[in-house]
A and B are shown apart, each in its own frame.
Chain A
């Protein structure tokens, strides 16, 4: 009987080998394993076997059943795979033909480069506890000039620099204008808060200036202010160095020199070492090795007063940053006018994906 089982196994393997059709394979399987199949037939003879023989034949027969099942399953899987692969081959995708898809649909998007830089700076300052503020574009003389210690005879109030809605020489009560700097937000920020506080204010500003590759009449600045007790020039330097390190992702050489702005005292110009020539002197830095980047200073007592803050109790620092200048530096943009042009040939270069 054992021999019978062994020969049956060999016989099945031989028979299966030649088959390539699912139905035929299943039929073959039932010829062996079905109720009246060959294995069952053999096992019928078990009744005549001795107890010792049964001990051997039982497992042997089960092993044969399992073997046949396994062989059939494997064979069927192989056939199925061949069928699928044939189908796949028929519908093969040309992986090199991606451009056609690009052509048919819109596949890119991205924010304005200003947004990219603005977010970076906002995030640096948010992480250091600064709020982010903005204010109206249409302002009055008080917020744009008076409150910032710019007296009525200051050249900044002339028609040249400021877009006016009302004649600055007229007797009208509230002469409206387009804000010429984000410092107006300082004034509003101070009047809405109690010290200590700190905030930044990115925003659009307007200058009555002829436009060219490096001048715009509508551009973006970023202003910052911190007011509290015993704020020092040392603190200002700390925040400016931190900001620059974060923006440029490396230590940047800076220098702080006197600069005159009516709303700060002392006032500074912060220069960074020219990133193009690394301080050796080139056309970008006008051979000086330094690029003017950040006007800043300690808030003028008159400005604090106008903001409703007692300058004997509190002081603070403020700084301004030409956001668009930074955008141009970062991306090597040669003409500031692109920023407001709405030209997708420009904007689509800043694709996020």
Chain B
């Protein structure tokens, strides 16, 4: 929103020695964010009235003239001019070198076809007075020579503050210049001039009379109307507004239309409350009715767009049709036009939420709806009405009020202003500052709060226009004081605090440790992927959809919550395989699951993926996962598929599962994770060449109970151990796990550790060389015991189907 400093000065005499930038900064630091400060209309004081003394053709160009003119009896200038209406003796507007015109052109000394031009004689268009013009401005012959247009036309330099609307969300009172002026007055401790006092009201009310009002007002209770004033005036002459109105509207970015429409905008910009003026002749019947639309209907607004109204939208209607979309925009059918001579002024207040709902639905945000959305104070209606009447009378002195204002809606006299008791101590304690009672009272009074100073506390009466949404409790009063004092003037204070140990919770510790392990020990990169997925991806991955679907997703690719990291991972591999032959990554992410109780649950899943164009990484991933779980002290062991206990993260029937490369990660009997490879047939769907292995671990549940380290010290052996190596034969149907489980069952008299030494597969069969390490903490093993153990081990393996390799 643009705020004009010139307009502010109508109400607040600010110190004159402050730069526009500093004014903007103070407003930013005390009230609302100023996004830009612009000095405008500085050109008026540079442009002066001159008289043309000579006109000769340009020697080099047919259509150009060399025009000489005088500023006074001593100073003459020459410019190159193409305008056809230039004549000797003409009074014209001269912009010298250095002037920046409203069209954005800054005049520089330049030669036109070899002749130096010392500035410019301006047209109306170049001065921003009209949208197009022919020839230069031809001023009356009696215009005094040498005066600036600033003086001649009472044009003023102005400063515009561009204020961030978002920072005014809670301040409906700042949507008009008068409210802003109050802020400046409080920030600069300059007095606010209130022209709208009691005697002013009486003067305006004197215009009302006993004639019967030609237009009545009726408000239906179920409408969004909080209060509605209507007033009729006759003898209106619609014409162009005087320049003081036009200039101000233009300055803050509004296009002047005609005097009556301009007045309604002017009053809104001044006092912050929108209003609407009808051509009364276009209202059928003798009253306006404010009611909800009964059924779907179409309505053409002032901007000539036909809009669909729904049951529940509030409109202002005559006996035939809707005239205005309440609080948003008037209709094309009843607006003021050139022929209007009778008007009906509407000043009303509407329920913020309902205005917002309708305007949002229609995508129609207007100056009016933006203000009503902020919740306006109904007490401001009457002042707004009087100010409108004042300006109409000023612009059309012939205008005549017919009767009195008509009102329907809530009883405004019942509104009791909000009172808040607050102690100076609380203010200072909360801000962490030392502000005197006197200063606090001064600040609040300048902001129009009423103060009754009781012994320990201040009883603060909140102006009604501040308590519609903004001010409601002690904290709000503290803000008023704090922001005027300036938060930057509060010193940082290190508080006195209890000392207690803090650390990350067990899950956060796990996460950090996992991140460190995977990056440092497995050469992986951590990624983040989207928690939402779409049907296309799920279909490609043959992964079931979720019931957790977004009602208003922005894209079909992110329309529901993921139930697994796997589809994301496949997508990521497919993308990265274009740039990398192999890679490793992991994500600590969430998956989302529909629940009957409480709608949804979330799992913390650690996913790790290895992809490689050449060889399967399943063994590396298995080993790395095992090392990782050990590092994290997770009570996890690696287990095969189980007929009864199914994997909880991956459906074992999923067609993406590799037929042989799959292991469960078992936590206390539950399959809370897996290490597996993706089936090449599915990889084909993603156009991935090579191998992809993925490990998933469900970390949910470790938030509260940290896994404990299980390291325990054993005394070092005092006696040497004895080792023997042997080689057995394994066929293609067998595996190493079977050898180890057979060895586990062998009962020996002494301690024995079994180790794999090497495997060798010359042909169909595999030779597995194992080592048995025998030891006794009490003594060196005698030869016969070693012999006995050897025999038992070899026999056990033979029984289990692993005969000793011959030769």
Residues in A lying within 8 Å of B, measured CB to CB? 105-112, 114-115, 119, 122, 126, 129-132, 136-138, 153, 155, 158-159, 163-167, 174, 176, 178, 196, 198, 204, 208-211, 217-218, 228, 230-235, 237-238, 241, 255-260, 265-269, 286, 288, 298, 300-301, 315, 339-340, 342-345, 347-348, 350-353
**How far, in whole Å, are A198 and B497 apart by their CA atoms in the complex?**
10
The residue in chain A whose Cβ has the minimal distance to the Cβ of B170 is A260
The interface centre, meaning the residue of B31, B493, B516 with most chain A CB atoms within 10 A of its CB, is B493
Question: Is B430 engaged at the interface, CB distance under 8 Å to the other chain?
Answer: yes
The residue in chain B whose Cβ has the minimal distance to the Cβ of A163 is B550
Contact among B169, B493, B576, B579 for A260, CB-based, below 8 A: B169
Stretch of B499-507, B640-648, B741-749 lying at the A interface: B499-507
Q: Tell me which residues across on chain B come within 8 A of A136, comparing CB atoms.
A: 600, 602
Q: Tell me which residues across on chain B come within 8 A of A258, comparing CB atoms.
A: 29-32, 167, 479, 483, 487
Q: Tell me which residues across on chain A come within 8 A of B169, comparing CB atoms.
A: 260
Name the distance in Å between B340's Cβ and chain A's nearest Cβ.
36
The residue in chain A whose Cβ has the minimal distance to the Cβ of B489 is A256
The residue in chain A whose Cβ has the minimal distance to the Cβ of B498 is A196
The residue in chain B whose Cβ has the minimal distance to the Cβ of A139 is B600
The answer to whether B490 touches A347, judged by C-beta atoms less than 8 angstroms apart, is no
The residue in chain A whose Cβ has the minimal distance to the Cβ of B478 is A266
Question: Is B508 engaged at the interface, CB distance under 8 Å to the other chain?
Answer: yes
Name the distance in Å between B310's Cβ and chain A's nearest Cβ.
13
Stretch of B49-57, B74-82, B352-360, B760-768 lying at the A interface: B352-360
Question: Is B121 engaged at the interface, CB distance under 8 Å to the other chain?
Answer: no
Q: Tell me which residues across on chain B come within 8 A of A267, comparing CB atoms.
A: 479
CB contact list, B568-584 vs A, under 8 A: 568, 571-572, 575-576, 579-580, 582-584
Q: Tell me which residues across on chain B come within 8 A of A115, comparing CB atoms.
A: 515, 526
The answer to whether A106 touches B582, judged by C-beta atoms less than 8 angstroms apart, is yes
The answer to whether B475 touches A218, judged by C-beta atoms less than 8 angstroms apart, is no
Question: Is B173 engaged at the interface, CB distance under 8 Å to the other chain?
Answer: no
For the complex, would chain B's binding face be called helix, strand, loop or mixed by DSSP majority? mixed
Name the distance in Å between A173's Cβ and chain B's nearest Cβ.
10
The answer to whether A165 touches B528, judged by C-beta atoms less than 8 angstroms apart, is no
Sample of 8 A–B contacts (CB below 8 Å): A109-B584, A111-B525, A155-B356, A165-B551, A217-B554, A233-B431, A258-B167, A343-B576
Q: Tell me which residues across on chain A come within 8 A of B171, comparing CB atoms.
A: 260
The answer to whether B488 touches A260, judged by C-beta atoms less than 8 angstroms apart, is no
**How far, in whole Å, are A347 and B586 apart by their CA atoms in the complex?**
11
Stretch of B317-325, B397-405, B529-537 lying at the A interface: B529-537
**How far, in whole Å, are A180 and B346 apart by their CA atoms in the complex?**
40
**How far, in whole Å, are A338 and B482 apart by their CA atoms in the complex?**
41
The residue in chain A whose Cβ has the minimal distance to the Cβ of B590 is A137
The answer to whether A165 touches B583, judged by C-beta atoms less than 8 angstroms apart, is no
The residue in chain A whose Cβ has the minimal distance to the Cβ of B24 is A288
Q: Tell me which residues across on chain A come within 8 A of B356, comparing CB atoms.
A: 153, 155
The answer to whether A122 touches B504, judged by C-beta atoms less than 8 angstroms apart, is yes
**How far, in whole Å, are A149 and B750 apart by their CA atoms in the complex?**
72
The answer to whether B512 touches A112, judged by C-beta atoms less than 8 angstroms apart, is no
Knowing A108-B523, A265-B475, A268-B487, the reply to whether A241 touches B492 (Cβ < 8 A) is yes
The answer to whether A165 touches B558, judged by C-beta atoms less than 8 angstroms apart, is no
Q: Tell me which residues across on chain A come within 8 A of B505, comparing CB atoms.
A: 131-132
The answer to whether A342 touches B550, judged by C-beta atoms less than 8 angstroms apart, is no
CB contact list, B503-524 vs A, under 8 A: 503-505, 508, 512, 515-516, 518-520, 522-524
The residue in chain B whose Cβ has the minimal distance to the Cβ of A230 is B429
Contact among B35, B493, B552 for A235, CB-based, below 8 A: B493
**How far, in whole Å, are A347 and B579 apart by their CA atoms in the complex?**
13
Question: Is B473 engaged at the interface, CB distance under 8 Å to the other chain?
Answer: yes
Name the distance in Å between A24's Cβ and chain B's nearest Cβ.
40
The answer to whether A114 touches B495, judged by C-beta atoms less than 8 angstroms apart, is no
The answer to whether B528 touches A340, judged by C-beta atoms less than 8 angstroms apart, is yes
The answer to whether B532 touches A218, judged by C-beta atoms less than 8 angstroms apart, is yes
CB contact list, B582-604 vs A, under 8 A: 582-585, 590, 592, 599-600, 602
The answer to whether A109 touches B520, judged by C-beta atoms less than 8 angstroms apart, is yes
Q: Tell me which residues across on chain B come within 8 A of A114, comparing CB atoms.
A: 528
Contact among A158, A218, A234 for B491, CB-based, below 8 A: A234
Name the distance in Å between B536's Cβ and chain A's nearest Cβ.
17
The answer to whether A137 touches B519, judged by C-beta atoms less than 8 angstroms apart, is no
The answer to whether A257 touches B531, judged by C-beta atoms less than 8 angstroms apart, is no
The answer to whether A112 touches B491, judged by C-beta atoms less than 8 angstroms apart, is no
Q: Tell me which residues across on chain B come within 8 A of A343, comparing CB atoms.
A: 575-576
The residue in chain B whose Cβ has the minimal distance to the Cβ of A204 is B531
Question: Residues 432-471 of chain B: 1 if any A CB is under 8 Å from the residue's CB, otherwise 0?
Answer: 1100000000000000000000000000000000000000
The answer to whether B167 touches A265, judged by C-beta atoms less than 8 angstroms apart, is no
Contact among B373, B430, B494 for A315, CB-based, below 8 A: B430
Name the distance in Å between A87's Cβ and chain B's nearest Cβ.
27
Q: Tell me which residues across on chain B come within 8 A of A198, comparing CB atoms.
A: 497
**How far, in whole Å, are A36 and B585 apart by their CA atoms in the complex?**
75
Contact among B493, B525, B549 for A347, CB-based, below 8 A: B525
16 additional A-B pairs beyond A266-B482, A342-B571, beta carbons within 8 Å, are A109-B520, A114-B528, A119-B512, A129-B500, A158-B360, A163-B552, A198-B497, A218-B531, A230-B429, A257-B28, A258-B30, A260-B167, A265-B475, A301-B475, A339-B528, A352-B520
Knowing A138-B561, A164-B551, the reply to whether A353 touches B520 (Cβ < 8 A) is yes
**How far, in whole Å, are A176 and B561 apart by their CA atoms in the complex?**
13
Question: Is B548 engaged at the interface, CB distance under 8 Å to the other chain?
Answer: yes
Name the distance in Å between A41's Cβ and chain B's nearest Cβ.
47
The answer to whether B580 touches A344, judged by C-beta atoms less than 8 angstroms apart, is yes
Name the distance in Å between A285's Cβ and chain B's nearest Cβ.
12
The answer to whether B552 touches A159, judged by C-beta atoms less than 8 angstroms apart, is yes
Knowing A132-B504, A230-B429, the reply to whether A344 touches B585 (Cβ < 8 A) is yes
The answer to whether A109 touches B524, judged by C-beta atoms less than 8 angstroms apart, is yes
The answer to whether B494 touches A238, judged by C-beta atoms less than 8 angstroms apart, is yes
The interface centre, meaning the residue of A204, A218, A232, A259 with most chain B CB atoms within 10 A of its CB, is A232
The residue in chain A whose Cβ has the minimal distance to the Cβ of B527 is A342
The residue in chain A whose Cβ has the minimal distance to the Cβ of B487 is A256
The answer to whether A266 touches B479, judged by C-beta atoms less than 8 angstroms apart, is yes
The interface centre, meaning the residue of B373, B473, B488, B526 with most chain A CB atoms within 10 A of its CB, is B526
The answer to whether A129 touches B499, judged by C-beta atoms less than 8 angstroms apart, is yes
The interface centre, meaning the residue of A109, A115, A155 with most chain B CB atoms within 10 A of its CB, is A109
The answer to whether B527 touches A131, judged by C-beta atoms less than 8 angstroms apart, is no
Q: Tell me which residues across on chain B come within 8 A of A208, comparing CB atoms.
A: 552, 554
The residue in chain A whose Cβ has the minimal distance to the Cβ of B432 is A234
Question: Is B476 engaged at the interface, CB distance under 8 Å to the other chain?
Answer: yes
The answer to whether B531 touches A165, judged by C-beta atoms less than 8 angstroms apart, is no
Q: Tell me which residues across on chain A come within 8 A of B475, comparing CB atoms.
A: 265-266, 298, 300-301
